[in-house]
Amino acid sequence: MSQKVIDLLNKARSRELTAITQYMSQHYELEDSDFGKLASKFKEIAIAEMKHAEKLAERILFLKGEPTSKPDALAKKGQQIPQMLTTNMALEAGAMKMYNEAAMVCAAEKDQISKELFEELLKDEEGHFNYFENTKDHVEKLGAAYLATLAG
């Protein structure tokens, strides 16, 4: 199998590990600030990212590669909710771009299974991006009134 594909899978795994760390860190901060509803959603998305990281690791191992355990960035801490959402949207947008490109490379390398894995992850990342974008829009338009609905 192609080392190029293994490298792409590991790059994606690093991105997923960053997202896990980021979203769980935000989950703890939000939970501590009594934004339980938002904290729960961030935790739910972090768990989805954990499942992505695991699928990537399994594929890397199948291809006789070594899964990375290093995130590609450090978690940003101490952000306000609008900045958290902006950070998360940037992570998801970067992943979407990466996974689109990776799927094309996998097709060129004649690795249909890895291509389909990237397409599956891409669909999930689009859903996460949509959630963060919609929530950010609500916060911008409705402000404190909307944030109050996320408390507790």
The structure's pTM equals 0.94
pLDDT tens profile 109-135: 999 999 999 999 999 999 999 999 999
Find the domain containing 134 and state its range: 3-149
**38 with 150: CB under 8 angstroms?**
yes
Predicted local confidence at residue 1, as pLDDT = 67
pLDDT tens column, 43-77: 999 999 999 999 999 999 999 999 999 999 999 99
User: Is residue 151 over pLDDT 90?
Assistant: no
Phi, psi of 140 (to 5 degrees): -65, -40
Instruction: Encode 119-142: b = buried (16+ Cβ within 10 Å), e = exposed.
Output: eebbebbeebbebbbebbebbeee
CATH of residue 33: 1.20.1260.10
Report the distance separating Cα 134 and Cα 65, nearest Å.
38
Q: What pLDDT does residue 17 have?
A: 98
Instruction: Please give the tally of structural domains in the chain.
Output: 1
